[in-house]
Amino acid sequence: MNRGASKGDFVSVSVSVQLALSCMILTVAESTHGQPLLLKTETFDVDPGWDGRNNRATDPSPRQIVQNFGFSSSTNAGGPAGEIGGFITPAGEPAFYGKVIAPTSLNDPLSASGILNVPQGGGHTLIGFFNADTVNEWRTPNTIALRIYGRGTYFLAYLEYGTGLWRAGGTSFGGEAAIPSGAADYPFSLNYDPNGAGGLGTVTATFGSSSTVMTLDSGHKADGAMFNRFGILNVMKSADDPGQIWLDNVTINGEAHPFNSDPGWDQRNNRRTYTSTNVRPRFDFGYSPGSNFAGGQSGGEIGGHTFRGDSRVEFNGTRMAYYGGRLNDTLSLNQPLHAEGKVGFHRGVSDSTTLIGFFHSDDSMRSNDSQNSATPENFVGAAIEGPSSEGFYLYPTYGLDQEGVRADGGRGTPTPPYLYPDGESRHWTLDYHPDGNGGTGSITVTLDGQAVTLNLDAGHKQIGAHFNRCGMITTHIDGSGQTVYFDDLTYTIGFAPPTLTIAKTAPAEVLLQWPTNYTGFSVESVLSLDAASLWQPISNVVTINGAVFSVSVSTTNAVQFFRLHKPRD
């Protein structure tokens, strides 16, 4: 098992306890200050009983989604009877009405034009080229489109694209100028030139009297994209306010569509009313019995639907959430940390984040209005996040026991690995090295073997952080959602148990000893190991002799058992 460290850093053993401790079968990890650390593996075949807070939220309430658009004999867009459009609701679930076109790519020219009417109200809708097989989220891969955002008496218009690898770009018309909604009809055009800007590819669009030209970012054309529809598609973030749009006299790649009769275009969920729980920020993640979205060894995993959290005081902690396994000990930036497992990323909306790693159940959930940093305090882990121009990375990040202190190293070096929301199972690792980068500390994350390292800033390890959970936790600045699952998770849970030695020093007396680098333990005794027996603390004086704690205990009973006990944090 590759843990991102040298062979000498990790060993595997079985821990058996005779007089000292109850049985544990774990893996010993890299040691620090003489104390070996333990790794635990969860395959989630059964409910692990992890701790959760707000992770199965009931607020906000589910929302009714109404989709009612397609061909209509109406005249809202100003022409003779017959047009397409209607009532469209932005939601987490896709809905579209589109003409099937011959598959085309970013190496092919594309063109469309027509007349658009936007009644007053809400709504958030795409009009353009897309791929019916990849409509899953926004920003939407395999798209070149106009985006219409209803704002009541006016709307905003944007031009955007998404590659086949979820990398996106966009611009606005008139610097997000308010365009009047209502009776006005607006001519529009949309043209893609694969040879524009020296071969980078350009999209030229007009909307009413405004025009704009957008050049694809360097490398985006090489990502590729495939388009097989032109039409109307809802923006797929989460449930939001609906609106209307109407189109008429549309020409697609030179073919005119006056809509004098029903064109029989392809459709999905465009005449449907249903209830959705994908409402921002209704968290819905945790143990998922039987599912296998992360591609683990067997059914059962953790994950689900996350949103970015919000730490502002007005929400009293209700807009932050976590789901995590309890650690045996509270760990800090002075100990190495390790986690690894399988991840399946199934849906990623722009401006969204999922965090996996080590955190504190209380001190990573503190409310604060400063909004200086999205990363929770007392966190070491990995983030699944954009920016939209790059799709999604998996990269290391951390937060200290101090609000707003951020790393200067960004997402680390070299460029982090891309994690695509395509549902494929991938292997990831996380390693924090307290001695990394010359002693400042470093975090390395890998995805299918591709590594990125983030060095802690000088002085940050001294500020400190502490952790008592490993799992999923939300950010502190709000945003959109992801659907992601994790399985076969191995993670550091604490220190290996100390060895309690026993030596007879007199006919009725024994000397119990354990290493002094294990603090906080006390000796307990019991006469029988049956279920009814209760361990009792020994109050004898504990002394320090060199590198060991020592306590002498009288043994007047024929049989007596001893153990070391440390209360869990």
The DSSP code sequence of 299-314 is S-EEEEEEE-----GG
Single residue among 258, 276, 294 that ends a domain in this structure: 276
Q: Given this model, what pLDDT does residue 26 score?
A: 52
Please report whether residue 16 resides in a domain. no
* DSSP bridge partners of 56: 284
Any idea what the CATH number is for the domain that residue 235 is in?
2.60.120.200
The three-state (H, E, C) secondary structure of 136-195, written as one string: CCCCCCCEEEEEEEECECEEEEEEEEECCCCCEEEEECCCCCCEECCCCEEEEEEEEECC
Is there a single domain that holds both residue 98 and residue 203?
A: yes
- Whether residues 260 and 223 share a domain: the answer is yes
Is 0.75 surpassed by the pTM of this model?
Answer: yes
Within a domain: 12: no
pLDDT at 569: 59
336 domain residue, yes or no? yes
Q: Is residue 1 part of a domain?
A: no
Long-range contacts from 19-23, C-beta under 8 angstroms, 24+ separation: 19/500, 19/502, 19/561, 19/562, 19/563, 20/497, 20/498, 20/499, 20/500, 20/514, 20/562, 20/563, 20/564, 21/497, 21/500, 21/563, 21/564, 22/563
d(CA 298, CA 379): 29
Domain boundary (449, 469, 495) is at 495
Does residue 18 fall inside a structural domain? no
Number of domains in the chain: 3
Same domain, 412 and 364: yes
> Biggest alpha carbon distance in the chain?
109
Mean pLDDT per block of 10 residues along the chain (569 residues) reads 32 28 40 75 97 98 98 95 98 98 98 98 98 98 98 97 98 94 97 98 96 97 98 98 98 98 98 98 98 97 98 96 96 97 98 98 95 94 98 97 86 98 98 97 98 97 98 97 98 92 92 91 92 91 95 87 84
Does 225 lie in the same domain as 91? yes
Tell me, yes or no, whether 53 lies in a domain.
yes
CA 244 to chain centre: 32
- 382 and 256: one domain? no
Residues 412, 385 contacting (CB under 8 angstroms): no
What pLDDT, on a 0 to 100 scale, did the predictor assign at position 9?
30
In a domain, 230, yes or no: yes
Task: Locate 449 and state its tokens.
Answer: 């073997």
- Pair (431, 452) in one structural domain: yes
202 shares a domain with 70: yes
Same domain, 170 and 271: yes
Query: Is 210 in the same domain as 253?
Result: yes
Q: Which residue range is the domain that position 451 belongs to? A: 25-60+280-495
Q: 152: which strand partners?
A: 121
Number of neighbours of residue 108 by Cβ within 10 angstroms:
12
**Backbone angles phi and psi of 439, in degrees to 5:** 105, -10
Nearest to 295 by CA among 424, 393, 447: 424
569, exposed or middle or buried, with CB in 10 Å at 0-12, 13-18, 19+? middle
What is the per-residue pLDDT for 370? 84
Nearest-angstrom CA–CA distance, 371 and 335: 29
Closest among 190, 253, 229, 186 to 97, alpha carbons compared = 229
Within-domain flag for 120: yes
pLDDT of residue 408: 84
Return the CA Rg of the chain. 30
Residue 514's SS3 state is strand
Nearest 10 degrees: CA dihedral of 32, 33, 36, 40?
A: -50
Do 224 and 332 belong together in one domain?
Answer: no
Residue closest to 310 by CA, chosen among 19, 39, 54: 54
Angle at 438 between CA 433 and CA 443, to 5 degrees: 30
The DSSP result for 58-81, as a single string, is: --SPPEEEEEEEEEES--TTSSSS
Quick one: which of 457, 368, 452, 374 has its CA closest to 411? 452
* DSSP-assigned letter for residue 390: G
Task: Answer yes or no: do 182 and 74 share one domain.
Answer: yes
Nearest residue to 450 (alpha-carbon basis) of 420, 432, 429, 431: 429
Q: How many whole angstroms separate alpha carbon 480 and alpha carbon 138?
A: 10
**Which residue type sits at 31?**
S
Of 276, 299, 325, which residue constitutes the final position of a domain? 276
517 and 488 in a common domain: no
Which residue, 307, 391, 389, is CA-closest to 355?
307
**Cβ contacts of residue 381 below 8 Å, gap of 6+?**
339, 355, 356, 357, 358, 359, 396, 397, 398, 430
Task: Say what the pLDDT of residue 407 is.
Answer: 82
Structural tokens at position 93: 């679930």
